[in-house]
């Protein structure tokens, strides 16, 4: 396994629309293993392939995480996700993102979703998610379409965050 470097905003690669995985093979499973390692190390609760520069429709998440001593980790790898239903009622969570480090904002999304996807064995799966899992899935699926959580907040707040990140990048380079 290997730690992958995470792309941070603003970066044009984070706006790319990722393409479906056509074969869930050893190369994809290796990528998923590396993405888990990268996510747990960061640490974060979700990571989409495009965040490590791979333009494929896959993501990993674990809303429990390895740091929680009272609960077992719940790693979940989702390939080619399709949201088939979203609830009318919404939920609001304070979201963050490994590609938008150290910035957080309240985002409103459907409270529940249903999803079709492929698992690591390439088998079709269905999932009915609510709570934090539903929010996290929608956040990660957004990445596959080039959307960041800051695209769901006011332009004023978004631009403020992106300007700060750009300034940090310039200072670091």
List residues near Ni ion by CB under 5 A: 97
Ranked by CB distance to Ni ion, the top (closest) residue is 97
Q: How far is the CB of 18 from Ni ion (least distance, A)?
A: 13
How many CA atoms does the CB half-sphere of 159 hold within 13 Å? Answer: 3
Helix, coil or strand: residue 114: strand
Structure token pair of residue 145: 């379409």
Catalytic: which of 37, 95, 102, 140?
Answer: 140
| Contact assessment for residue 98 and residue 44, using Cβ atoms and an 8 Å cutoff | yes
| Contact assessment for residue 139 and residue 149, using Cβ atoms and an 8 Å cutoff | yes
Residue number with CB closer to Ni ion (52 or 97): 97
Residue number with CB closer to Ni ion (107 or 115): 107
Residue number with CB closer to Ni ion (32 or 97): 97
**What is the DSSP track for 15-68?**
GPPPBPPS---HHHHHHHHHHHHHHHHTT-SEEEGGGGT--BSEEEE-SS-TT-
Report helix, strand and coil shares of the chain as percent, to nearest 5.
35, 30, 35
Residue number with CB closer to Ni ion (8 or 87): 8
Q: How far is the CB of 121 from Ni ion (least distance, A)?
A: 26
Q: How far is the CB of 139 from Ni ion (least distance, A)?
A: 5
Annotated active-site residue 140? The verdict is: yes
Q: How far is the CB of 26 from Ni ion (least distance, A)?
A: 26
Helix, coil or strand: residue 146: coil
Catalytic residues: 140
């Amino acid at each position: 396994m290997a730690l992958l470097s995470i792309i941070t905003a603003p970066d044009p690669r984070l706006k790319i629309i990722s393409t479906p995985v056509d074969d869930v093979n050893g190369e994809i499973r290796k990528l998923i293993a590396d993405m888990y390692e990268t996510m747990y190390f960061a640490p974060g609760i979700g990571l989409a392939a495009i965040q490590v520069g791979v333009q494929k429709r896959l993501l990993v998440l674990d809303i429990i995480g390895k740091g929680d001593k009272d609960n077992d980790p719940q790693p979940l790898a989702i390939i080619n996700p399709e949201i088939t239903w979203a609830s009318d009622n919404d939920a609001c969570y304070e979201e963050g993102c490994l590609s938008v480090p150290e910035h957080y904002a309240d985002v409103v999304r459907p409270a529940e979703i249903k999803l079709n996807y492929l698992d690591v064995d390439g088998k079709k799966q269905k999932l009915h998610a609510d709570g934090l899992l539903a929010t996290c899935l929608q956040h990660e699926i957004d990445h596959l379409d080039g959307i960041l959580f800051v695209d769901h907040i006011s332009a004023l707040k978004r631009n403020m965050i992106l300007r700060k990140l750009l300034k940090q990048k310039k200072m670091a380079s």
